[in-house]
Amino acid sequence: MLPTIFGSSLAQVKGTTLHVVLRRFDAWLGDAKRRDLAKPKSFVRSGRPYSLRATLLLFLSQCLGDDKSCRTAVARGKSEGILPADTSPKTSAYCRARDGLCDVALKKEVEAMGDAIDAQARPEDLWCNRPVKVLDGSGISMPDTPENQEAYPQPSTQAPGCGFPMLYLVAVMSLATGVVLRYVADRLGFHEQNLLHRLHPALQRGDVALGDRGFCSFGTMALLLKAGVDSVFRIHQRRKTDFRKGRRLGPRDHVVEWVRSSWPQWLSRDAELPLLLKVRELYVEIKVRGFRTRYVTLATTLLDSREYPAESLAEPYLRRWSMELWLRHVKITLGMDILRTQTPERIRAELAMSIIGYNLVRAVMLDAAHTKHVPLDRVSFKSALSRVRLWCHRHIEGLDVNAWLSHYPSLLDDLARDLPPLRPNRVEPRAKKRRPKEYDLLNRPRAEMRAQLLNA
């Protein structure tokens, strides 16, 4: 999908977020001697069609494309000149080459690219002059193979042979740019608090962590505050709030002391947790027709009501609801809700490459918002993805690099003018009109049901 731009001048896009991204790609695709992206003893023979660079390009185009089959990836590589014309159309060699990629190194590239894009955020993109990191989690399915079942078992409520392996993903995203900065994935049985604890080093002093009630706990908020990170969470449903107690800051807004009742199961005993934690609890009214939730109670370590009034604290949390679309873009728009590879190692590599592709599209959206002065939330991810695909295809058709890059401002102009309709306070029922086909559910192992059909 991405053309051969490495070693060429990027002056046409200098000063844009895309320039930063292409330099990152140049660092890990243009250097043929770079070995950290490959496993030991992989890509060591010269003259093979599936070099490290060709394999990375095909894998990225496969994750960003609308058809994610390996057969289409190989055919695209031959048509776009990434692979020699006499390369076999069979996919076995490509799959073996993809097995040579290091999933740990690809995950590090996600982090490096996310940090590089997020550094392009402008002061007006921040909330109260502070960077806000959105925490969110979601489940992802994958093919039912013994290796995947062992690493990421299916939900315990499903009968053996009738379900699919599932992993749970927790991501840290930037509210200013929408990019995925860090993520962790593990089996479905791990709680969000456990996975988030592994991401604490990704949150820097001065950040504000924003999340739903699943992340709201004494241990999480205390550890974040110790690291200099404030938090704004919807209060957990099991925690009772009594606004008659504590230091009153305003109507249904007070500061109380939470008492550590028990040691978190996900936290090592070597960690240090205080016995008491000062937390601000405030009641926020959602004045949006059609919203299921009319009132929410927030818990935060931002105790200064003058610097952070209640109305100001409600703003990022209300934005968080729309920001849930970010993970939906990764899962649904990019087609990552069901991963396609057969082993856990391949699953981790596919997940990392898909997020790299997502961050690439977010960089283009950020450029459109900054250069054309439109709100980033109004720029369509689906439109940006389609236009990036078509723009890259133009280079394949014969444009040289400089001419191809010169069309980038036109792409941004079209993207900024093709905004989705502004429909504030839109109300829609949470129901589907189209009926699914009435097939029976697979409630027994497939082999058993197949044998029953053969013996009928």
* 3-state SS assignment for residue 93: helix
DSSP secondary structure string, 113-130? HHHHHHTT--GGGSBTTB
Lowest-confidence pick of 31-35, 67-71, 167-171, 392-396: 31-35
Distance between CA 206 and CA 221 in Å, rounded?
14
Q: Using an 8 Å Cβ cutoff, are 216 and 192 in contact?
A: no
Distance between CA 46 and CA 8 in Å, rounded?
24
If pLDDT is split at 50, 70 and 90, which confidence band does 322 have?
A: low
Question: In this structure, what DSSP letter does residue 421 have?
Answer: P
Distance between CA 169 and CA 188 in Å, rounded?
9
Structure tokens at 403: 């001419």
Lowest-confidence pick of 24-38, 126-140, 315-329, 381-395: 24-38
pLDDT digits (tens, 9 = 90+) for 262-302: 888 888 888 889 999 999 999 987 766 555 556 789 999 99
Structure tokens at 143: 């093919």
Model confidence at 391: pLDDT above 90: no
Distance between CA 366 and CA 371 in Å, rounded?
9
Higher pLDDT, 316 or 325: 316
Structure tokens at 456: 């009928």
Model confidence at 33: pLDDT above 60: no
Model confidence at 4: pLDDT above 70: no
Exposure string of 120-155, with b = 16+ CB inside 10 Å and e = fewer, is bbeeebebeeebbbbbbbbebbbbebeebbebbbbe
**pTM, full prediction:** 0.91
CB-hemisphere CA count at 13 Å for 138? Answer: 19
Model confidence at 7: pLDDT above 80: no
